[in-house]
Structure formats: structure tokens, C-alpha cells
Structure 1
């Protein structure tokens, strides 16, 4: 895997805002001055996630929008507030076909304003359902269709395999869950395939892997459906390296029914892999953030909406 010279990462959408947080080396935040002197408004948070990436390699810059949050308003509002020009986006990547990751895509494409590649696994369009004793959600991803993406300005790239989309930036492709305790129990999680209702394996899930010169691998794992540890191991295998510098995203450990044992075992494996940067976001849950903060205090970085991080040697 090739390298890029630097990565600037902006958190466009996440579940949290905290105006009391201050800047730190390599991290710029939306803090009290921006909130109290909010001439242009303050950032908006929601149950979703979206990253804006800017990479450079050999003097050439690439901009990537990775996921689009839950709804159109926060993504567009936050981009304008943070001075991000979405018309400069070179590529869009959707991690999977769940609404908290694609919900703002049509508004984003309208802002981009030209036919831009949208990389997405073909199974993201598969009809999905949740059927449990207390809730039934029928076809909850019906807003995501290939036809609508094309009509909105997306050039859909249906992709199952890993693909280098810029120097030092690669999609993971399908991720095998290789750590036993990360195997999900898909209670009530169903999909419709070839006319049959079956358990939904979420095989469309993918991460982004960025290899920064002098830093190492940065893995963006927006929702952790394959398991964050399995995702890290998959990234190392693709890049043919034996370490990861950092991981940011949703670790899928904040849901009801996730045991404390699973949270603890996940952090055990993160500690064992010697990461220098760990940012549990979105669906990770407070227990996971607390566990990482307590057991990996030098690696833990709390991300909030509007945070800008620069990775470079």
C-alpha cells in the first residue's frame, strides 16, 4: 500500500458536541469561543457519523466524504460552518446501507453539484428489516437506491473488493470477522434476498484505511459491524504491515444487550495491538469510551462534531 504525505480529518457529523474542550497538538476543536461568539451558528450533532478527508501525496490533494450522517441538515450546516467546500469533493464512500450513515447523502450530492463517484457495496441497496418483540421496522433503508443516487448526481461504483482510491487511501472491501467474541448476534436483523427473508449479514460494511508517511495506518471504522479488532487486523493484512497507529469511529458497543465482557475484551485487544490513537465515536457507547480512557489514557482522544485532526510526520 502506498503512502500519503498527510491526512487532515474533519468530523462533520457525530453524536456529540462539547464546547468546553480545548485544542491540543494536532487537534483543533469547536470550543467555547466558537460557541459563544457564534456569528454563523454552532455545530449540530445527531446519531450518525460523517468524515471529511483531505490527503496530499506528491503535491496532489484528494478530498473524500466518508458517510453522510443520519439527516441532511447537520452535514450541510456543519460543512458551511467549518468552511468546508463540498464542491471540492473528489469521491464519496458509503460504509454501508444504514440510515445513520447514508441519511444526508442526497443533500451532500446537491452541495457537491457535479457527478461524483459514490463507492458503495451493491448489497447496501438490499431491503432491510428489524423484527423484534418490541419493534418492527420494515424496509428501513428504502431511501437508499442506486436510481436515486444517480439522479442526485452520484456515479455509483458498486464495489465489493478493496480499492486504492488515492495514494495512501484504500477501501477495505468486505471485512471478515476473525475474532470470536466479535461475532454479532443479529437478533431481529433481517434482509430480503431473492424473494426470501433471511438473517442480514451486513456484508456491505467497509472501512477506510489511510497510510500516512512517518505515522502509519489510520483506520476509519464508522460503525464496527465487522468488529473493530477484526477491522484492524484486516487493514494490517491489506497494507502488509504489523501495526496500526490509530482508529476512529463507531465500535458498535453502545447498544442494549452488549455485555461489559465484550467491551472489556475489545479494549484488551486494542491494548495488545499497541495503538497510539483510539477514538470511540458514534455507536461506541459511554462504557467503551470510559474503558479506553482508563486503560489507554495516552491513546484516547475524544472526538466531537467540528474536530479537525492533522496526521503527518
Structure 2
């Protein structure tokens, strides 16, 4: 796999804001000066996630929007606060067809104002429902259709397999769950395919894999539907790169039905993989964040809306 020389990851949307967190050597945050003396406003948070990546190789930079949060409000507002230039975005990637990841996409495409490639798995468009004894949520992803994306300015690239999208950056394609305890119980999640109702395998889920020269792989795993450990193992196998540097995103451990045993097993697995940066965000949940912070304090990073992480080849440890 090719590599990039410099990687910048800006969190456009996440569940959290914290103005008291300090900057670090690699992470710049929206802190007290920005909140108390706002020039463009202060960031907003919501139950969703969105990343803006800038990967530079040989002096050329590719800018990628990965997911778009739950609604158009925070992604547009935070982009203004952070000084994002929508004209610079080269490509868009949607991790899967859940509203907390695609909800702001139409506002983002409108802000870009031109035809932009948008990579998504074709199964993201299948109608989805949740049926449980206490609730029925029918067709909750009806806001995502290929027709509406094209009308909004997306050049849709519907693909199941991994895809190289820039030097050092690729999509994961479908991710096999290789760690036994990471298999999710559907718990009433259903999808409609070919006129039939099926348990939803969430086979449209994908991650982004970035290889930074001399540093190793950084995996953006927005919602953890394939299991964060399985996603990391898949990234290594797919790229042939052994060095794992970091993982950021939602680890899908925040739901009430997730056992403490699963959280502890996940944290142990992260420790075994020797990661230098672990940022549980979005749907990871407080218990998982606390567990990573306590077990792996040197690797743990709490990324919040407005934070920017920079990893460069020269910073390899």
C-alpha cells in the first residue's frame, strides 16, 4: 500500500464538546480562548460523527469528507467555525446507511456546490427498520436514496470492495468479523432486500484506512459495526502493513445491552495490538472511554467536535 507524508484529521461532528481540554503535541482543540472569545462561533455537538481528512503526499493534498453527522446544522456551523473551505473537498465517503452518519450529507453537498464523487456501499440504500417489544421504527433510513444524492450533487460510486481513493488512503470494503465476541446480536434490526424482510447484516459498513509514511496505519472506524478489533485486523490483512498506529471513531460499545465483559475484552485486544493512539468517540460510550483511559492511558485520546489531529512522517516514534 502507498503511504502519505502528512495526515490531518478534523472532527467536524461528534457527541462531545469540552472547552477545558488542553492541546497536545499532535492534537489542537477548540479550547477556552475559542469559546470565550469566539470569532466565528463555538462548535456544536450532536449524536453523530463526521471527519475531514487532509492527506498530503509529495506536496499534493487530497481532502476527504467521511460521514456527515445526524443533521445539517452542526456540520455546516462547525465547518464555518473551523474555517473549512468546502471548495477543497475532493471526495466524500459514507460509512453506512444510518442517519447519524449520513444525516448532514445533503447540507454538505449543497455547501460544496459542485459534482463530487461519493463512495458508498450499495446496501446502504436498502430500507431499514427496528422492531422490538418496546418500539417500532419503520424505514428509518428513508432520507438516503441514490436519486436524492445525485440530485444534490453527488457522483455516486456504489462499491462493495475496497477502493484506493488517494495515495495512502483506501476504503475497507466489506469487513469480515474475525473476533468471536464482536459478532453483534441483531436485536430487531431488519432490512428489506429483493422484496423480502431479513435480519440486517449491516454489510454496507466500511472504514477508512490511512498509511502514514514511517508511522503505520490509522483506521477511522466511525461506528464499530464490524467490531473495532476485526476492523484493525482487516486493515492489516488488506494493506499488508503490520504497524498499527491509531484508531479513532465509534466503537459501538455504548448501548445498554453491551456487557462489561465485552468492553474489557475489547480494551485488552486494543492493548495487544500495540496502538499508540486510541480515540473512542460517538457511540463508544462512557464505560468504554473510561476503560481505555484507565487501561491504556498513554494511548487514550478524547477527541471532541472541533479537534484536529496531525500525524506526520517525521513524528514516527
| Fold match by TM threshold 0.5 | yes
- Give aligned pairs, total: 313
CA contact (8 A) 2:215 2:243 kept: no
CA contact (8 A) 1:62 1:166 kept: yes
Which string of whole-angstrom CA distances, capped at 9 and with x for unpartnered residues, describes residues 9-29 of structure 1? 100000000010111101110
Which string of whole-angstrom CA distances, capped at 9 and with x for unpartnered residues, describes residues 84-126 of structure 1? 1112100000000000000000000001111000000000000
Aligned to 1:302: 302
Equivalent-residue separation in structure 2 for 1:244 and 1:56 (angstroms): 19
Equivalent-residue separation in structure 2 for 1:19 and 1:152 (angstroms): 35
CA contact (8 A) 2:183 2:227 kept: yes
Give the TM-score of the pair, scaled to structure 2.
0.98
CA contact (8 A) 1:243 1:273 kept: no
Residue 40 (structure 1) shift: 2.1
**DSSP-derived class of the 1:111 partner:** helix
Equivalent-residue separation in structure 1 for 2:308 and 2:198 (angstroms): 41
Residues 140-151 of structure 1 aligned to structure 2 (within 5 Å): 140-151=140-151
Residue 243 (structure 1) shift: 2.9
Equivalent-residue separation in structure 2 for 1:159 and 1:8 (angstroms): 26
Structure 2 unpaired stretches of 5+? none
Which string of whole-angstrom CA distances, capped at 9 and with x for unpartnered residues, describes residues 133-192 of structure 1? 111100000000000000000000001000110000000000000100000000110001
**DSSP-derived class of the 1:231 partner:** helix
Residues 144-223 of structure 1 aligned to structure 2 (within 5 Å): 144-223=144-223
Equivalent-residue separation in structure 1 for 2:156 and 2:178 (angstroms): 30
Equivalent-residue separation in structure 2 for 1:117 and 1:104 (angstroms): 16
Residue 194 (structure 1) shift: 1.0
CA contact (8 A) 1:96 1:205 kept: yes
Residue 81 (structure 1) shift: 0.6
CA contact (8 A) 1:254 1:287 kept: yes
Equivalent-residue separation in structure 2 for 1:58 and 1:157 (angstroms): 27
Stretches of 4+ moved more than 4 A in 1?
A: none
Residues 271-286 of structure 1 aligned to structure 2 (within 5 Å): 271-286=271-286
